[in-house]
Structure 1
Amino acid sequence: MPDLVPFTDNVDDLSNTEGYQFEFRCERCGNGYRSPFKRDKVETGRGLLRAVGSLFGGMAEDVSRSVEQWRYDRATNSPAKDRALTEAVTAVRGRFRQCRGCGDWMCVDVCWNDDIGQCLQCAPAVAEEMSRAQAAAQRDQIWEKAQRTDWTEGLDVGHRAVVQCPECAAKVDGGKFCSSCGASLAPKTRCPGCGHDGNRVGALFCAECGSKL
């Protein structure tokens, strides 16, 4: 019985019609390794036969057509590919660990907790987890303190805030007058009929009495 071919679920097959290559990645951080491209010697020989067939025709051409039929499933089924995959898995074996907690394959350099024997996702490092918790608590406390602080003291919230000068269209950060042209940020249009001065700039009729402005 032929030897079984070991494989993992964190591998991508990059093989093509010229040869074999595999990419292994960490299922937590995404870092990984790619095996060197290994050219398929049999496929190279078939390529030579195809070239001969196209040059000389006849029987050689028949051989070339047969070779084309042999291309079938070379990318998924061949002893050469089995050997290439076995070699690639053996080469990266020391770079990854399979976590017994979640079953994922993790890189040793970044995502593995040697003290516990599990990945950092299942068994976070104490110092790193403490640092994250401290940072999260600090962020929450900042928000809490900001909520307790009165940020509206001195602000006139009874009047609508203006962010653009009605005269020159410059952007403003509040106040009563434009810092670019000096125009009032709250100009009033007084009604000649009733004296109401709360009409918006550009209004054609008074909002109180309907007189024409």
Structure 2
Amino acid sequence: MADAVPFTDNFSDLSNTQGYQFEFRCERCGNGFRSAFQRDTAETGRSVLRAVGSFFGGKLQDLSYSADQWRYNQATNSAAKDKALTAAVQEITPSFRQCRGCSDWMCSDQCWNEEIGQCLRCSPSVAEEVSRAQASAQRDQIWDKARTKDWTQDVDLDTRAKLTCPSCGVKADGGKFCASCGGSLAPVVHCTECGSQSKVGAMFCGDCGTRL
């Protein structure tokens, strides 16, 4: 009876018609490791058979068709692939640990807590958690302090803000005058009759009706 083939749920099959290769991924950080490519020596012989059969035709061509049928029917269910997968698992296993807490496979370099014997998801590093908590608290405190500070003390809220200078059309960054041409960002027209102010472009005074 053949030996059982070990496998995990965190790998992808990258095998092709030339040979076998597998990619294993950490289930926490997603980093992956690829096993060494294992060439299928039998496929090399089948390729030669197909080439010869295509050239000569007849019985040899029938044999080449049989070789192609083998490739499509047996590529994912073959003793060669089982052997290749077993070798790949043995090759990659030292780079992974299976956590007894969550049963996921973790890379030993980045996601494994060696001291506890579990993954960092189940047993986080104390130093990392302290650092993360400190950074989170610091961020919250910055936002709280920013909300209590008056950021509008020097901002002119009485004058309608202009995004572009009405004189030269350049983008304005605030203030009362354009930094490019010196023109007023809120120009007004004074009524000659009553002295009230109106916006540039107004035809008549809004207070006395005098034509501007």
TM-score (norm 1): 0.91
Structure 2 unmatched ranges of 5 or more? none
Relative distance call for 1:155 and 1:72 in structure 2 (3 A) is closer
Structure 1 unmatched ranges of 5 or more? none
Deviation at 1:154, TM superposition (A): 2.9
Relative distance call for 1:182 and 1:55 in structure 2 (3 A) is same
What code does the residue aligned with 1:114 have? E
Deviation at 1:127, TM superposition (A): 0.4
Number of the residue aligned with 1:174: 174
Number of the residue aligned with 1:6: 6
Number of the residue aligned with 1:57: 57
Note if 1:186 corresponds to 2:186: yes
Q: How many angstroms apart in 2 are the aligned matches of 1:46 and 1:12?
A: 25
Q: How many angstroms apart in 2 are the aligned matches of 1:75 and 1:58?
A: 26
Any runs of at least 4 consecutive aligned residues in structure 1 with deviations exceeding 6 A, and if so which?
none
Note if 1:72 corresponds to 2:88: no
Q: 3-state DSSP class of the match of 2:72?
A: coil
Number of the residue aligned with 1:41: 41
Quick one: percent identity of the two aligned structures? 65
Deviation at 1:17, TM superposition (A): 1.2
Q: How many angstroms apart in 2 are the aligned matches of 1:154 and 1:35?
A: 64
Q: 3-state DSSP class of the match of 2:64?
A: helix
1:158-169 equivalences under 5 Å are 158-169=158-169
Aligned length: 212
Q: How many angstroms apart in 2 are the aligned matches of 1:61 and 1:155?
A: 87
Q: How many angstroms apart in 2 are the aligned matches of 1:16 and 1:207?
A: 82
Q: How many angstroms apart in 2 are the aligned matches of 1:101 and 1:211?
A: 84
Number of the residue aligned with 2:17: 17
Deviation at 1:72, TM superposition (A): 2.4
Which whole-Å deviations, capped at 9, do the CAs of 1:105-138 have from their partners, x for residues lacking one?
A: 1000000001111111111100011011111111
Deviation at 1:203, TM superposition (A): 3.9
**Is this contact kept in 1: 2:25–2:32, CA < 8 A?**
yes
**Is this contact kept in 2: 1:97–1:112, CA < 8 A?**
yes
Deviation at 1:204, TM superposition (A): 4.6
Q: CA RMSD in A?
A: 1.9
1:2-151 equivalences under 5 Å are 2-151=2-151
Which segment is superposed worse, 136-145 or 78-87?
Answer: 136-145
Relative distance call for 1:175 and 1:57 in structure 2 (3 A) is same
Which whole-Å deviations, capped at 9, do the CAs of 1:62-104 have from their partners, x for residues lacking one?
A: 2112222222233311000000000000111111111122221
Which segment is superposed worse, 31-40 or 65-74?
Answer: 65-74
Q: How many angstroms apart in 2 are the aligned matches of 1:206 and 1:75?
A: 89
Number of the residue aligned with 1:156: 156
Deviation at 1:52, TM superposition (A): 0.6
Which whole-Å deviations, capped at 9, do the CAs of 1:127-160 have from their partners, x for residues lacking one?
A: 0110111111111111111111111113221222
**Is this contact kept in 2: 1:17–1:74, CA < 8 A?**
no
Q: How many angstroms apart in 2 are the aligned matches of 1:143 and 1:93?
A: 46
TM-score (norm 2): 0.91
